[in-house]
């Protein structure tokens, strides 16, 4: 018999009428011959209301009590949904996270799933019940209640679908699918028929709140197809699967995180190991750092900038302050009025000029880019918060995301095609069952024969990045990584990029022309560098990956010149002579996580 997991988000169970409607959907699926597991979120804005209550009681509530409190929201809704099912004549049993055997680690408010015992659910299903499981919550080894993080019911649903071997995982929500960007922010956004795990993972992590990014890690590892659809209409929705909508379109979606903060640690001694100390202190608090930029040092000191979600700023500053003396840094600055605007696409690595197109679009919208980082499937920019809406609109327009690509494949076509091929390869058989959400690495590799070019004193005004990368593109130079960093001194920034070693001379010529044209301070090249890449799933949310990378490289006395992180890869640019040694250390350090 086939099994379906149906997840209902907060708006889909916001009142008793909606709860009945959700119950009817489950009953319909059961009548169609499926076993049904429902995963339910807290009603409406209940989680927010609980958070506000806690805030009224104290400034800094104990994390354990916070999870105890927040988990009650889901407990209310599962009971009501089960009652509605009974009332409609179905057999149903509601279960809390603990009762479905959802074992997690003990990091309150960000707990990671370790294992799920399926016996009880399977027994109940076999007796003809609809099982109604509470989303978002689990228990640790000492039976403390934990929660998975905001939006975590998606992860409960996909994880259950994975371990139960469900045929489908349906996510019922208040939009009728995944769009090229949040349709509430941009009316032109287009619903996608299909989006790949990789793109969805990256978009979710960069702000597309429609799916909890960790749910996509599960889906990818276990090959679970996810169907995102509306609770309130019967429209088709979006399939999240291994395949992409288009094989050619460089960008599939755009996302914004409105509430980011930039932190700069000033005057960090430019010797191996210093960045590691800073990032370890932050990672210990399970805060995901993004857009890490280390300005190539002057006078033996470097400024290290990075972004964190704004609601983590206080904790981040405390973490940095706890190590600042040991690091020997001079101080910290921050800006909490910034937003991150990103584009994501699986095909962008194969194409030139994607970055300059994005920068040109931002320049034309008058948006000043403060920081840039790129990775193989995404480009992120940090912009002033007041310009973020215009920035999102501009990039959506520049990549014509409102238009269906000419080679777009529908889910229907992909499914027909799949029938002829072997099934999509899931990684599941190689994962341990007691470490469901642990770090999964698929490879550690090195790209040799790279060179770096850095421009110093890049003026802080719109249009400079666009002009630079258009000029470089016109010279026929293929740029790989781009990193633009905030420069504490005079508001200017520095921009580094990597190219093929053979292109270094040509790139430097172009860089010097750009320097003269825009009155920049200097342009310098560095040859004999290599890029070390750690690939896997969910690398940004596993906050210790970047720390371990820094740790290993600094232990081997290797300085990291540039770094970029995404959910799929962490890249570090280092001295090529030391690459072999670096890779060796990394393979040993990550041995447990490498498939
Ligand atoms: P639920 O409570 O059902 O989990 P969420 O509020 O978490 O619902 O997620 C649905 C919301 O996600 C939509 O209302 C929409 O505003 C937002 N969203 C953000 N990015 C996207 C996107 N790319 N496609 C669709 N919705 C998006
Ligand atoms: N109720 C939780 C939240 O609001 C979990 C969820 O809805 O996914 O974040
Ligand atoms: Mg959600």
Domains located in the chain, CATH noted = 1-173 (3.40.1160.10), 254-397+440-589 (3.30.2130.10)
**Cβ of residue 73 lying under 6 Å from some atom of ligand 2:** yes
Q: Point out the ligand 2 atom lying closest to the alpha carbon of residue 153.
A: 8
**What phi-psi label fits residue 117: left (phi over 0), alpha (psi between -120 and 50 degrees) or beta?**
beta
Structure tokens at 294: 């280390």
C-alpha 258: how far from chain center = 15
Q: Point out the ligand 2 atom lying closest to the alpha carbon of residue 10.
A: 7
pLDDT at 27: 98
Look at the alpha carbons of 116, 4, 155, 172 in this order and tell me if their dihedral is positive or negative. Answer: negative
Reported confidence tier of residue 298, pLDDT bands at 50, 70, 90? low
Q: Which of 546, 62, 101 is nearest to 286 (CA)?
A: 546
Average pLDDT over residues 122-136: 98
Calculate what percentage of the chain has a pLDDT beyond 70.
96
Reported confidence tier of residue 366, pLDDT bands at 50, 70, 90? very high
* Residue that has been written with the tokens 């690091």 in this structure: 327
Reported confidence tier of residue 489, pLDDT bands at 50, 70, 90? low
Q: Using CB atoms within 10 A of its CB, is residue 1 exposed (0-12), middle (13-18) or buried (19+)?
A: exposed
**Alpha carbon of 265 to ligand 1 centroid (Å):** 34
Contact indicator for 183, 18 with CB cutoff of 8 Å:
no
* Residue that has been written with the tokens 């799949």 in this structure: 418
| Ligand 1 pocket: which of 175, 216, 240 to mutate (most atoms within 8 A of CB) | 175
**Cβ of residue 267 lying under 6 Å from some atom of ligand 2:** no
Mean pLDDT, the chain, integer: 93
- Is the per-residue pLDDT at 423 higher than 60? no
Structure tokens at 292: 């890490």
Question: In angstroms, rounded to a whole number, what is the distance separating the alpha carbons of residues 402 and 394?
Answer: 12
Contact indicator for 176, 235 with CB cutoff of 8 Å:
yes
Annotate 490-516 with DSSP letters as a single string.
Answer: TS-EEEEEEEEGGGHHHHHHHHHHHHH
**Cβ of residue 549 lying under 6 Å from some atom of ligand 1:** no
Reported confidence tier of residue 428, pLDDT bands at 50, 70, 90? low
Identify the three-state secondary structure at position 593: coil
| Length of the chain counted residue by residue | 595
CB neighbour list of residue 393: distance below 8 Å, 6 or more residues apart: 186, 188, 365
Q: Which ligand is nearest to the CA of 137?
A: 2
pLDDT at 433: 65
**Cβ of residue 97 lying under 6 Å from some atom of ligand 2:** no
pLDDT at 547: 82
pLDDT at 109: 95
Annotate 535-577 with DSSP letters as a single string.
Answer: EEESTTTSTHHHHHHHHHHHHTT----EEEE-SSEEEEEEEGG
Average pLDDT over residues 333-348: 96
Structure tokens at 510: 């172009």
pLDDT at 201: 97
Q: What is the arrangement of strands in the sheet containing 482-486, beginning at the earlier edge strand?
A: 290-294, 301-309, 253-269, 331-344, 378-384, 371-375, 482-486, 493-500, 440-458, 522-537, 569-575, 562-565
Average pLDDT over residues 316-345: 96
How far is residue 441 from each of residues 272, 300, 437, 451, 589, measured CA to CA in Å? 25, 35, 12, 27, 12
pLDDT at 18: 98
CB neighbour list of residue 123: distance below 8 Å, 6 or more residues apart: none
More confident call, 143 vs 493: 143
**Cβ of residue 287 lying under 6 Å from some atom of ligand 1:** no
More confident call, 273 vs 590: 590
570 forms beta bridges with: 534, 565
CB neighbour list of residue 139: distance below 8 Å, 6 or more residues apart: 97, 98, 102, 103, 104, 145, 146
pLDDT at 396: 98
pLDDT at 561: 85
How far is residue 151 from each of residues 7, 9, 18, 436, measured CA to CA in Å? 12, 9, 19, 19
Question: In angstroms, rounded to a whole number, what is the distance separating the alpha carbons of residues 315 and 306?
Answer: 14
Average pLDDT over residues 386-409: 97
| Ligand 1 pocket: which of 22, 152, 182 to mutate (most atoms within 8 A of CB) | 182
**Alpha carbon of 108 to ligand 3 centroid (Å):** 19
Look at the alpha carbons of 589, 591, 593, 595 in this order and tell me if their dihedral is positive or negative. Answer: positive
Residue 337 CB coordination number (10 Å)? 12
Nearest CA to ligand 2 atom 6: 151
Contact indicator for 65, 50 with CB cutoff of 8 Å:
no
Reported confidence tier of residue 11, pLDDT bands at 50, 70, 90? very high
How far is residue 191 from each of residues 216, 217, 346, 398, 405, measured CA to CA in Å? 18, 22, 18, 18, 12
Annotate 298-349 with DSSP letters as a single string.
Answer: BTTEEEEEEEEEGGGHHHHHHHHHHHHHHHT--EEEEEEEEEEEEEE-TTGG
Q: What is the pLDDT of residues 249-264, one digit of tens each?
A: 999 999 999 999 999 9
- Phi, psi angles (nearest 5°) of residue 459: -60, 145
- Is the per-residue pLDDT at 320 higher than 60? yes
Task: Please give the angle made by the CA atoms of 107, 109 and 110, to the nearest 5 degrees.
Answer: 60
Average pLDDT over residues 486-515: 88
Q: What is the pLDDT of residues 58-116, one digit of tens each?
A: 988 999 999 999 999 999 999 999 999 999 999 999 999 999 999 999 999 999 999 99
DSSP state at residue 179:
B
- Is the per-residue pLDDT at 230 higher than 70? yes
pLDDT at 502: 96
CB neighbour list of residue 475: distance below 8 Å, 6 or more residues apart: 506, 507, 510
Give the pTM: 0.95
**Cβ of residue 42 lying under 6 Å from some atom of ligand 2:** yes
pLDDT at 362: 97
Q: What is the pLDDT of residues 235-246, one digit of tens each?
A: 999 999 999 999
Average pLDDT over residues 139-144: 98
* Residue that has been written with the tokens 């999102």 in this structure: 392
Q: What is the pLDDT of residues 462-478, one digit of tens each?
A: 999 999 999 999 999 99
Kindly report which listed range (145-154, 292-301, 394-403, 548-557) carries the lowest average pLDDT score: 292-301
Average pLDDT over residues 3-11: 98
**Cβ of residue 136 lying under 6 Å from some atom of ligand 2:** yes
Q: What is the pLDDT of residues 148-180, one digit of tens each?
A: 999 999 999 999 999 999 999 999 999 999 999
């Amino acid at each position: 018999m086939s099994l379906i997991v149906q997840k209902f988000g907060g708006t889909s169970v916001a009142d008793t009428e909606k709860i009945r409607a959700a119950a009817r959907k489950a009953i319909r699926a059961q009548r169609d011959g499926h076993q049904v597991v429902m995963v339910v979120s807290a009603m409406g804005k209940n989680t927010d209301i609980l958070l506000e209550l806690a805030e009224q009681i104290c400034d800094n509530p104990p994390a354990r009590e916070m999870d105890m409190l927040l988990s009650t929201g889901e407990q209310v809704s599962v009971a009501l949904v089960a009652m509605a099912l009974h009332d409609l004549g179905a057999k149903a049993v509601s279960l809390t996270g603990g009762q479905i055997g959802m074992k997690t680690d003990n990091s309150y408010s960000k707990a990671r799933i370790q294992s799920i015992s399926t016996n009880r659910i399977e027994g109940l299903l076999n007796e003809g019940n609809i099982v109604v499981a509470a989303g978002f919550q689990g228990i640790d080894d000492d039976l403390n209640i934990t929660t998975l993080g905001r939006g975590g019911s998606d992860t409960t649903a996909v994880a259950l679908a994975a371990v139960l071997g469900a045929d489908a995982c349906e996510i019922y929500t208040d939009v009728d699918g995944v769009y090229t960007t949040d349709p509430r922010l941009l009316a032109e956004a287009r619903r996608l028929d299909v989006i790949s795990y990789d793109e969805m993972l990256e978009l979710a992590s960069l702000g597309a709140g429609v799916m909890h990014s960790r749910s996509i890690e599960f889906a990818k590892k276990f090959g679970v197809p996810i169907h995102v659809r509306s609770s309130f209409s019967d429209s088709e929705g979006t399939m999240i699967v291994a395949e992409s909508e288009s094989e050619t379109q460089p960008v599939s979606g755009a996302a914004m995180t409105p509430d980011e903060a930039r932190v700069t640690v000033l005057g960090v001694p430019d010797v191996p190991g210093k960045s590691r100390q800073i990032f370890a202190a932050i990672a210990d608090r399970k805060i995901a750092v993004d857009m890490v930029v280390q300005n190539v040092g002057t006078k033996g000191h470097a400024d290290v900038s990075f972004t964190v979600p704004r609601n983590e700023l206080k904790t981040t500053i405390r973490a940095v302050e706890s190590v600042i003396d040991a690091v020997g840094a001079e101080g910290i600055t921050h800006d909490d009025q910034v937003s991150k605007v990103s584009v994501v696409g699986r095909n962008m690595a194969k194409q030139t000029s994607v970055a300059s197109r994005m920068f040109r679009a931002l320049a034309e919208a008058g948006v000043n880019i403060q920081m840039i980082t790129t990775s193989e499937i995404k480009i992120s920019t940090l912009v002033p918060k007041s310009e973020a809406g215009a920035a999102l609109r501009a990039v959506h327009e520049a990549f014509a995301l409102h238009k269906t690509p000419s080679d777009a494949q529908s889910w229907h076509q992909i499914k027909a095609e799949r029938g002829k091929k072997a099934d999509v390869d899931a990684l599941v058989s190689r994962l341990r069952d007691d470490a469901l959400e642990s770090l999964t690495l698929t490879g550690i590799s090195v790209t040799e024969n790279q060179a770096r070019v850095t421009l110093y004193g890049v003026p802080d005004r719109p249009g400079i990045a666009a002009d630079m990368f258009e000029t470089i593109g016109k010279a026929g130079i293929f740029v790989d990584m781009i990193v633009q960093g905030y420069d504490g001194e005079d508001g200017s920034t520095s921009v580094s990029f990597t190219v093929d070693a053979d292109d270094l001379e040509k790139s430097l010529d172009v860089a010097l022309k750009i320097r003269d044209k825009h009155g920049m301070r200097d342009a310098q090249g560095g040859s004999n560098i290599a890029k070390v890449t750690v690939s896997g799933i969910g690398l940004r949310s596993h906050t210790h990956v970047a720390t371990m990378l820094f740790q290993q490289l600094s232990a081997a006395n290797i300085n990291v010149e540039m770094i970029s992180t995404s959910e799929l890869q962490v890249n570090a640019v280092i001295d090529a002579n030391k690459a072999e040694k670096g890779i060796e250390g990394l393979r040993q350090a990550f041995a447990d996580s490498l498939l």
